[in-house]
Amino acid sequence: MANVRLTDIRKSFAKTQVLHGISLDIASGEFISLLGSSGCGKTTLLRMVAGLESVTAGGIEIDDRDVTSLPPEKRDIAMMFQSYALLPHLSVSENVRFPLRMRGIGSREEQQEKVAAALETVQLGHLSERKPRQLSGGQQQRVALARAIVSQPKVLLLDEPLSNLDARLREDMQVELIEIHQRLGLTTIFVTHDQEEALSLSDRIVLLNAGRVEQQGTPDEIYNQPATSFASNFIGSANLVPVEITDSAQGPVAKLEDGQVLHLDPNEAIRGKATLALRQEDLTLSANGMGLKAKVRTRVFLGARNRYVMSLAGHPLRALTANDLDFANGQEIALAIDPARIRVIAD
Ligand SMILES: Nc1ncnc2c1ncn2[C@@H]1O[C@H](COP(=O)(O)OP(=O)(O)OP(=O)(O)O)[C@@H](O)[C@H]1O
């Protein structure tokens, strides 16, 4: 296990700058996710930690040692990619042993012991003699993970390792990753564009936006206290509603563009033009209860839940509801939200 420190990392490809000064301190044993949409620079950052990409400026330390210009094999890291490419002609155990052989680590017996331990960790000891083509996709993924951890790296780098798996297998592998992390305590940097994956796996999430850190915090902080409109929209896909906040006899109120008014938490301090972040799961819809008037545009059936897309003050608004609510397209409904659940972002 080791700590990782990134100091003011910058990266340009030709004239295009893709990383604009990223600084991060990752504690020993921490599981951290780099989360962001396609092209925000998360893979580039991970490849720099691995030593597969040079830095344009800035420094990288692993275990308090400057590794900025060291080649990958001198960094004590292991990386697992989205395309994990097992060698088809080798058995499972030979695949896992491969990095030990390549680097000449230990005697044959020692290598076999390490391979057996790594396969036990991913619960594949019983399939060690199979060839990759005789395994399911999830099992192949676990072999790749065993191959990454077999050399007992100080830092484990994972680049969207679950994105080729179907939904069910992904969930299973997420649980396994959590358990493996708990057992081995490896410092882990996990790249993903999937917010649920980041929320469920990480000790800390670093949200990247166009080559900069937008916000970082625990999953709870990132989910419940998004600091910016971008963070609110990215995490939990909150609805963003432009408003003007003023004082009323009953406390602060937010005025929507169509003149409707929403009461805010009495402690809300922001006044003037602002954006409300309303989470889809926090909205309560009713046919003729109290609340803002919105018009139903369409309903999306999600199995256990429905998503209603409505029009509120001319903006599309999404809400997740229990699937026993049945509104017609075009129907005017009332929309209520607990003021404590409204997040106000100053413009
Ligand atoms: N070798 C390269 N040469 C030129 N541009 C590159 C190179 N590698 C990456 N880029 C550019 O750098 C930016 C960041 O790419 P990167 O792969 O790090 O993004 P990402 O957040 O990991 O996205 P994705 O989830 O799609 O992999 C992109 O605009 C990409 O086109």
- Rounded CA-CA distance 297/139 in Å is 43
For residue 219, report the distance from its CA to the centre of ligand 1, in Å.
25
- Ligand 1: residue whose CA is nearest its atom 29: 39
23 and 149 both lie in a single domain: yes
- Rounded CA-CA distance 257/241 in Å is 9
> Which of 129, 150, 148 has its CA nearest to residue 85?
148
- Ligand 1: residue whose CA is nearest its atom 6: 13
Assess whether pLDDT exceeds 80 at residue 165: no
220 and 300 both lie in a single domain: no
Domain final position from 195, 229, 263: 229
- Please report which confidence band the pLDDT of residue 107 belongs to, taking 50, 70 and 90 as the band edges: very high
For residue 175, report the distance from its CA to the centre of ligand 1, in Å.
29
Range of the domain at 15: 4-229
99 and 148 both lie in a single domain: yes
- Ligand 1: residue whose CA is nearest its atom 25: 38
242 and 225 both lie in a single domain: no
217 and 299 both lie in a single domain: no
Assess contact for 334 and 288: CB atoms under 8 A: yes
Ligand 1 nearest atom to the CA of residue 211, by list position: 14
- Ligand 1: residue whose CA is nearest its atom 26: 38
22 and 159 both lie in a single domain: yes
pTM of the model: 0.83
CATH number at residue 269: 2.40.50.140
What is the ipTM metric for this complex?
0.93
Q: Is the CB of 15 under 6 A from ligand 1?
A: no
Task: For 201-249, write each residue's pLDDT tens digit.
Answer: 999 999 999 999 999 999 989 988 888 889 988 887 789 899 999 999 9
- What strand order describes the sheet that includes 4-13? 16-26, 4-13, 57-62, 65-66
